Structure 1
Amino acid sequence: MLSSMHEHDGPLTRLRRGHEQAVLELLRRHGPLSRAELGTRSGLSRTTLHDIVAGLTGSGSVVAGTPQAEVRKRGRPVEKLSLNPAAGAAVGIDFARRAVHVAAVNFAHEVIGSASEAHAADLSWPERIDIADRLLATSGAVHLDALSAIGVGVVGPLTDPGSENARSQGIDGLPDLLRKRFGVPVVLDNNTRLAALAEAVWGAAKDSSDVLYLRLSHGVGGGLVVGGALHRGRYGLSGEFGHITVDPAGRPCDCGGTGCLETRASLDAVLFRYREAGGRADDLAEFLAAAASGERCALDVLTRVGHDIGGVLAAVCHAVGPGVIVVGGELAEAGPALLEPVQRALRERLMPLARRHVDVRRATLGDTGSALGGIALVLHESPLLSHYPRPASEENA
């Protein structure tokens, strides 16, 4: 479910937005640049660049200034253009199953704050929004009257506002509640997909424009970033890797299927497999501690889980061809004990030509990943902010 931030999207509007995005991205990556430098790097004509820069400075998105006296060369000082950090802020909120996570960036794309708070699983939406509001207000990093938009992540697949799916999840009307509270546009998406986008923008895969993200938590899900853009799918169901069948004769899954990856690699499933093999850990922390200490039972379970995960990832890789696979969620804290079996299974299952092109990495953004993904979604959708992330081939432009 996505609420668009701009209504008019004709060819000329898209062309102008593309030029704005190119200029803003250059300023983000290279810092202050002169008009001549922008013209060289962007390839825009002098007339077009003058028009784009005038619009961006007029809106306050870009500011002009001159170097300090001690660094100026002889002659007239050259005016430099840069992003205006004070032009506004974007906020991301992740409404996880049992916690609220928030993060904020300024207009210069700098992360300026983040916070989290746990809560009971049955907390109402107004109460969760109260938590988010309080976290933002007390962080000291965000002026709520300076917000330009909010990106929000929620659990579960999303379709259109008001749909039966949205009502069954209890999120029907959530965008309206948020707009009334904060008074700015809201974009909404699955929080695991947003974590994928965040890892492609700020995290483990920021050097790649084609990313497959897998989260191993109470549920198993993921997301795809294709060509630098988040892929949602026709019905908002992209990234449901947890419901790919691993064992047709396996345990029933909540989705109605049998033997899904979620029945093999979710936190509860892993603990079940561990106890079935004779392990004694009461929770994930104890299980991870057992694995870290070298306990054979725990390591054997992680090897089997990693093999299951690698098989599913190989099948997805053959379909979408990612350059980077990022593995996140609480189970990823097992580190090499899990990731090495995943990599071995990938090498066994992938076509020889694909093996050297796939790089498996552990997620780096932790609990705030989905909130940061909400921000990345906002920046991606806004006509006045840069497209995230840039294709790797353009990084040296």
Structure 2
Amino acid sequence: MPRTEPTALTLLRRTHEAQVVDVLRRLGAVSRGELARHTGLSRTALSSITGALIGRAVVVAGPAPAEGVRGRGRPVELLRLHPATGRCAGVDLGRGRVRAVVANAAHQIVASGARACPPEVPWERRTDAALELLDELLDGSAAGLEGIGVGLVGPVPAPGERAATVVRLLGERYGAPVLVENNTRLAALAEAVHGAGAGARHAVYVHLSHGVGGGLVVDGRLLGGASGTAGEVGHMTADPGGPRCRCGNHGCLELYASLPAVEAAGGPGDDGAVARAGRMTGRVLAGLCTAVNPELLIVGGELAALGARLLGPLESELRARTLPAALRGLRIVTARLGDEGGALGAIALIRQEAPPAVNGGARAAAGPLAGCTGPGSSG
């Protein structure tokens, strides 16, 4: 039989199916109403397309989890990709450990693990540890692996040696797309998608740890900026007359709101040192919140555990310095995902970006997606 070319109607249907799969891949389980809103397809077209995908076992349907007492109405049914259709892996080459997470197409975590890796360990050895850990979590098989996201500590200039080598090694080993980003920005994306900010479209994240970093999520996506420094709050000026920072500027937030800075000012037990860190953080975030107008401000890192002693002064300073309209409806919360945030954000990045394949299957993004950050990003 001679081969026939697909008709225009067939090509259109394939395009619509790809739209549906892409939404489910990014968002996980959603109702048909949400799917219609995200794809712009009519209910009739969507019914036909999802029915065909369910028939081919690409998509599965099931009831939404029960929440409280339901009425007599028809229970909400959620659609999700079949768990066997694809896996994604997220790796965080953090300051004191390497962590990896593997998720299936239904956004369920199927494997997770970590290896201790002290700060002095060279990044080449960290990459080796990540490969060993991923081999274990993937059970020796990369079949169905859609991509690997990797978070790195600190500046990752594109096309810097570290990022390029990580992309090459993981791409060669697993034959899958690889994206590299700063791990603090990935934690911001994870919190916005799965954690404290789940359901919010616009969020500002600040991470107060050994360094100070952050991330901006705008319309549900991580904002990298022209060269990847978007959200680098640690090196925004908190006090123009302050001491010189290692980045070359004066009075950077990291000099007041990092763990070493709080320790030097009296330690986490000293209310004055903690309040100063909160005030300086609020001072820096005030301008950012006015410019970005987020729904949510998420505070993560070890200092977030200090609770109201830190967040009270932060909020007071923020409200005193921010355009009132930008604060309307703004919530300030602490991060929820903890140590897995960077790795989960790496998976979210892969699901959102998916650039074209190059070099035998390994994919890397230029510019911000390759992980460009400013000096001293935290991990």
Q: TM-score, normalised by structure 1?
A: 0.74
Alpha-carbon distance, 1:27 to partner: 6.9
- Equivalence for 2:22: 21
Q: Is the contact made by 2:25 and 2:351 (CA closer than 8 Å) also made in structure 1?
A: no
Q: Is the contact made by 1:158 and 1:235 (CA closer than 8 Å) also made in structure 2?
A: no
Relative to structure 1, the CA distance from residue 233 to residue 375 in structure 2 (aligned partners, 3 Å threshold; closer, same or farther) is: same
Q: Is the contact made by 1:95 and 1:152 (CA closer than 8 Å) also made in structure 2?
A: yes
Instruction: Measure, in 1, the Cα distance between the counterparts of 2:316 and 2:36.
Output: 48
Alpha-carbon distance, 1:262 to partner: 0.8
Letter in 2 for 1:255: C
For residue 167 of structure 2, the aligned residue among 164, 175, 189 is: 175
Alpha-carbon distance, 1:50 to partner: 4.0
Instruction: Measure, in 1, the Cα distance between the counterparts of 2:55 and 2:186.
Output: 30
Q: Which moved more, 1:361-370 or 1:45-54?
A: 45-54
Instruction: Measure, in 1, the Cα distance between the counterparts of 2:158 and 2:350.
Output: 18
- Equivalence for 1:44: 41
- Equivalence for 1:76: none
Structure 2 residue 331 is matched with structure 1 residue 359: yes
- Equivalence for 1:249: 241
Local SS of the residue matching 2:29: helix
For residue 147 of structure 2, the aligned residue among 146, 149, 155 is: 149
- Equivalence for 1:338: 310
- Equivalence for 2:59: 62
Alpha-carbon distance, 1:359 to partner: 0.9
Q: Is the contact made by 1:103 and 1:111 (CA closer than 8 Å) also made in structure 2?
A: yes
For residue 207 of structure 1, the aligned residue among 189, 199, 220 is: 199
Instruction: Measure, in 1, the Cα distance between the counterparts of 2:34 and 2:193.
Output: 25
Q: Is the contact made by 1:246 and 1:312 (CA closer than 8 Å) also made in structure 2?
A: yes
Q: Which moved more, 1:348-357 or 1:147-156?
A: 348-357
Q: Is the contact made by 2:17 and 2:49 (CA closer than 8 Å) also made in structure 1?
A: no
Alpha-carbon distance, 1:157 to partner: 3.8
Relative to structure 1, the CA distance from residue 271 to residue 142 in structure 2 (aligned partners, 3 Å threshold; closer, same or farther) is: farther
Please show how residues 285-364 of structure 1 align to structure 2 within 5 Å. Answer: 287-288=267-268, 291=269, 298-364=270-336
- Equivalence for 1:273: 265
Relative to structure 1, the CA distance from residue 343 to residue 139 in structure 2 (aligned partners, 3 Å threshold; closer, same or farther) is: same
Q: Is the contact made by 1:219 and 1:242 (CA closer than 8 Å) also made in structure 2?
A: yes
Local SS of the residue matching 1:340: helix
Letter in 1 for 2:282: G
Local SS of the residue matching 1:264: helix
Relative to structure 1, the CA distance from residue 379 to residue 172 in structure 2 (aligned partners, 3 Å threshold; closer, same or farther) is: closer
Alpha-carbon distance, 1:300 to partner: 1.3
- Equivalence for 1:187: 179
Alpha-carbon distance, 1:313 to partner: 0.7
Relative to structure 1, the CA distance from residue 248 to residue 43 in structure 2 (aligned partners, 3 Å threshold; closer, same or farther) is: closer
- Equivalence for 2:67: none
Deviations 1:275-311 (A, max 9, x none): xxxxxxxxxxxx44xx3xxxxxx11111111011001
Relative to structure 1, the CA distance from residue 113 to residue 27 in structure 2 (aligned partners, 3 Å threshold; closer, same or farther) is: closer
- Equivalence for 2:134: 136
Alpha-carbon distance, 1:222 to partner: 0.4
- Equivalence for 2:363: none
Instruction: Measure, in 2, the Cα distance between the counterparts of 1:182 and 1:238.
Output: 30
Alpha-carbon distance, 1:243 to partner: 0.8
- Equivalence for 1:240: 232
Alpha-carbon distance, 1:194 to partner: 0.5
Instruction: Measure, in 2, the Cα distance between the counterparts of 1:174 and 1:248.
Output: 38
Percent identity of the aligned residues?
A: 42
Q: Is the contact made by 1:85 and 1:107 (CA closer than 8 Å) also made in structure 2?
A: yes
Q: Is the contact made by 2:102 and 2:138 (CA closer than 8 Å) also made in structure 1?
A: no
Alpha-carbon distance, 1:360 to partner: 0.7
For residue 341 of structure 2, the aligned residue among 363, 369, 387 is: 369
Structure 2 residue 91 is matched with structure 1 residue 93: yes
Q: Which moved more, 1:248-257 or 1:232-241?
A: 248-257
Alpha-carbon distance, 1:110 to partner: 1.2
Letter in 2 for 1:340: G
- Equivalence for 1:108: 106
> RMSD of aligned C-alpha atoms?
3.2
Aligned residues: 329
Q: Which moved more, 1:203-212 or 1:335-344?
A: 335-344
- Equivalence for 2:371: none
Instruction: Measure, in 2, the Cα distance between the counterparts of 1:308 and 1:240.
Output: 15
Instruction: Measure, in 2, the Cα distance between the counterparts of 1:112 and 1:330.
Output: 27
Instruction: Measure, in 2, the Cα distance between the counterparts of 1:37 and 1:311.
Output: 38
Instruction: Measure, in 2, the Cα distance between the counterparts of 1:235 and 1:334.
Output: 33
Deviations 1:163-209 (A, max 9, x none): xxx24xx4442210111122211011111111000001110011211
Q: TM-score, normalised by structure 2?
A: 0.77
Instruction: Measure, in 1, the Cα distance between the counterparts of 2:23 and 2:138.
Output: 32
Letter in 1 for 2:182: N
Instruction: Measure, in 1, the Cα distance between the counterparts of 2:302 and 2:24.
Output: 39
Unaligned runs of 5+ in 2: 1-11, 63-77, 356-379
Instruction: Measure, in 2, the Cα distance between the counterparts of 1:216 and 1:37.
Output: 35
Relative to structure 1, the CA distance from residue 152 to residue 25 in structure 2 (aligned partners, 3 Å threshold; closer, same or farther) is: closer
Q: Which moved more, 1:332-341 or 1:322-331?
A: 332-341
Relative to structure 1, the CA distance from residue 129 to residue 304 in structure 2 (aligned partners, 3 Å threshold; closer, same or farther) is: same
Instruction: Measure, in 1, the Cα distance between the counterparts of 2:153 and 2:34.
Output: 44
- Equivalence for 2:216: 224
Letter in 2 for 1:238: A
